[in-house]
Each structure stands twice: as C-alpha cells, then as structure tokens.
Amino acid sequence: MSFLRVDGTKIVDEQGREVVLRGAGLGGWMMMENFISEHFFAEEDAEFFKSLGLNCIRIAVNYHHFEGAINSFWSDFYPDELGLDDQNPRVLKENAFKHLDRAIAACAKHSVYTVIDLHSAPGGQSGGWHADAGIHRPMFWKHKDFQDRVVWLWRELATHYKDNPWVAGYNLLNEPADPTPKSQGLIGLYDRLFQVIREEVKDERHIIFLDGNTFATDFSGFPEDVKDGVRWPNTAFAIHDYAVEGFPGERGEKYEGTPEEIAVIRQKYERKRSWMDERGLCVWNGEWGPVYARKEYDGDQTDKINARRERVLRDQLAIYKEDKLSWSIWLYKDIGFQGMVYVSRDTPYIQHFRDFLSRKHRLAVDAWGKDDTHVKHIYAHIEALIRESVGDPAYLKLYPPLWSVQERVTRVSRTILVAEFLVKEWAEMFRGMDKQQLEELARSFRFENCQKRDGLNQQLRENAGLDLPK
C-alpha cells in the first residue's frame, strides 16, 4: 500500500517504482437514482475485478449525491425530489460519503486503487447527456456560482480523502466543454481547484487527473508552464480514446483489423496525446472501449458484430501495452451494452423494463452508442432544412466542433426532446411497488445476478500487468 505520484511521464509509488494503472470506470452507479445503491458495487465485485489482474477503478460521481441537503420547508412538499437539492447549495448531505466510502474500502481490501471522477457538475460542464444538465448547452461556464459550487465540493472531497492512500487521485471534471477562447474558463477553474486542494486542504499526495477541453480531446489552450510541475504539481493529463470503429456505423461494420485500419486508430490516439508528449508530461487514458451488440436487438448478427468489436479492443490494447499507458476502460457494470459484467436477462429489473428498453433502443433516444437505423430518415429532414436555410456554411460550424449538424440535430431533437416525453412513463413503472418489490429490482444489479462478458474480460486479463506494489 502506497500513495502514488507522478514522476515525469510515469506514475510511481513512494519507493519510485513505476505503477501502470489498468482498470475500468465503475459505471453509472453514483450518477443516477439511489434505489440500487447498496447492490451495484459490493465486495464480490471488487474481488472479481482484482482476479483479472486489474488495479484501479474510476468512480464517476454526480454532485447531487453530496450537495444540497433539502431543508425542512422543501422536504415537506417534495420529500423524494432529488432535483431540489439545488435549492440548498454548498450544504453537505448527511452521510454524503456513505456509498463512496464503502466502494473505496471494498476496493482497498482487494488492493485496488480508486480515482474519484466528478462526472456531473452543476449546470452541466458540457452539453453531453452524462453531464446531467438536461440541455445541450453547458451552463456551468456561464454562471460563476456553478463553478464556486464545484470548488466547494472538491474542498469537501479532498478534506475527506486526504489521508487515504488507496485513492490514487482526483479526476477534477469529466469531459469539460468550455466554449471560451483558449479554454480560459477551464484553465481558471483548474487553477482554483489546485489552490483549494494543494494549498487550503494541503493535500499534495494525491494525483490530480485533468481532462482536456472539448470532451478530453483538446489541450491546445493549456498553459506552457505546467511542464515544470510548479503550476500544477503531481498531475496526469487525461485523454479519452474512443475509436469509432468500435461503435455502430460504417467504420465499425467493416472493421477487420488490417494494418491500415490499426494505423488509423494509432494515429488518432497519438494526436490526442501529442501535446503532453511534446512536453514530457504524464498521460492517462480515462475512458475508451467499444460497445457490444445484444441478441434481443441484433439477432443473428450479434456474434459477428461482437467479434469485430473485440478486434478493435485487442488492437487498442496492443497500442497501449506498447506505450505502457495507464488506462481505464468504460465500463465495469451496466445492463448489457458495454460492461465487463451486466445484469442478466432473467432478472426482475430487465424483465420489468424489457419492453420499455426495447422501445428506447428502437427510437435511439439514448445518446451513447446509438444505433439510429430505424429513425435516421426522420431526422434527416430536419438536418436538410437547417442546411438549406443557413446562408453561409461557416455558420453551421458551432461549438463543440465534434458535433456535426447531424449530431447536433439528433442530440437536441431526439436524445433530449423525444427522450423528455418518455421520462414520466419510465418513472410511472415504479408506481405502486412496495419496498420488497423495489428491493428485488435493485438486487438485479448484484454481482451474482450478472453475466460476465468473457471475451472482453479475457483480453483485459491478458493485458493487465501485475504492477501494483505489495
């Protein structure tokens, strides 16, 4: 057991021995509702994770789980309304650290490090669904109070975990999308957070992991003086290296793992990390990994699709192994799309929501890894209308540049607008359930009620070094 730190381009332990962090993001557990919280991740999960030779779990958290104890006035009217936490900002909830403490302790028992990842900030640090703002514009960057609340939250988190060596570090903000010139807003926020964590809390022993701007892809606006380790000491810089070949679409459908295809994947990966490499800085791949087909949706093509996806996985892992890159694949557990383990089809949760999940898939209202085969033609008319109506093509180029016109149309009109009309229907499916029935749904997420994705896990096992110090 040892605190970890950054030494040049490497992560090392207190004796100076290199430690390559290889692991996974835990998933949406602390991003969503509380009713499954006791069952999503337990000691059995940590034990299985360690059995693969993996040594680090990145735990994504939503600020709602920590901030905003509802005062008595609001609780009288809305006793179960999570969103009303925002009415009482910068107030730490009672037992705020209960679930995170339990997960970190379970990992520590099995010699697995953790990284705390602030995945959702007030107002949304990006327009992505995972920022949990409900809109496509990142209001976090427009209102200083949202930023002040994140500074407050990291003061609380760092104070609580300051002396815990099994916390490898803090991932300050997941996939920010700051539209200000040269990432000025993001750089200013990072400076404030360093001041709080390093100087106020005096936590110098935890690594700080910094995502690049525009969904962890752009470091061009970052300051040059970080390379001497004075401005941002003990820091690793986080890329997210998703390969389109591992997702639905033309590139994914044709992938065979040819030298030319692998060269494209390598080129994109090297471009993402080039700013750090040119300055001798430490790189961490905080998210990556393909998604997988499911028999209930993809039928007879499922095995063929997944063989291609596992080929992408293999080729990415080979590149990372060559570079001795620390990485955290997305993700450990879900309901069957990408997880190392996933909820079995015969569990009460899947059985209860099966038809609703099928409709969501058909409508492609989930933004992540969408397959829009059944509805793409509908939204093509909106895209065409926009292109025809905008006089200068240059005006079609909005921030973030990763979102094409087509992507922006589908995100706003389908994964926000259409999805919004389905939320109440999903919520109504819980109505009338007693505590025992809710508990049965929640237990669906326990390790013993999950299936293992063997092909993925075998490749992770083969590529997981035994770099963890004893």
- State how beta strands 22-25 and 10-12 pair: unpaired
What is the model's pLDDT at position 37? 80
What is the model's pLDDT at position 77? 39
Backbone angles phi, psi at 292, to 5 degrees: -125, 150
State the Cα angle at 37 between 285 and 236, rounded to 5°: 20
Cβ–Cβ < 8 Å for 21, 217: no
Residue 293 predicted with pLDDT over 60: yes
State how far the Cα of 147 lies from the Cα of 137, in Å rounded to an integer. 15
pLDDT in tens, 160-203: 999 999 999 999 999 999 999 999 999 999 999 999 999 999 99
Residue for token digits 């080129």?
267
Q: Which amino acid is at 284?
A: W
Residues noted as catalytic:
175, 287
Instruction: State pTM to two decimals.
Output: 0.95
pLDDT in tens, 419-432: 999 999 999 999 99
Tell me if residue 429 falls in helix, strand or coil: coil
| 460 prior amide bond cis, ω within 30 | no
Burial class (CB in 10 A: 0-12, 13-18, 19+), 393: exposed
Using the CB atoms, write b or e for 322-344: b if 16+ within 10 Å: ebebbbbbbbbbbbbbbbbbbbb
pLDDT band, very low/low/confident/very high, at 81 (cuts 50, 70, 90): very low
What is the model's pLDDT at position 458? 96
Residue 337 predicted with pLDDT over 80: yes
pLDDT in tens, 355-379: 999 999 999 999 898 899 999 999 9
What is the model's pLDDT at position 399? 96
DSSP structure class, residue 145: H
State how far the Cα of 450 lies from the Cα of 65, in Å rounded to an integer. 25
Strands (E), 402-468: 450-452
Residue 72 predicted with pLDDT over 70: no
pLDDT band, very low/low/confident/very high, at 467 (cuts 50, 70, 90): very low
What is the model's pLDDT at position 34? 62
Q: How far is CA 232 from the centre of its chain?
A: 23
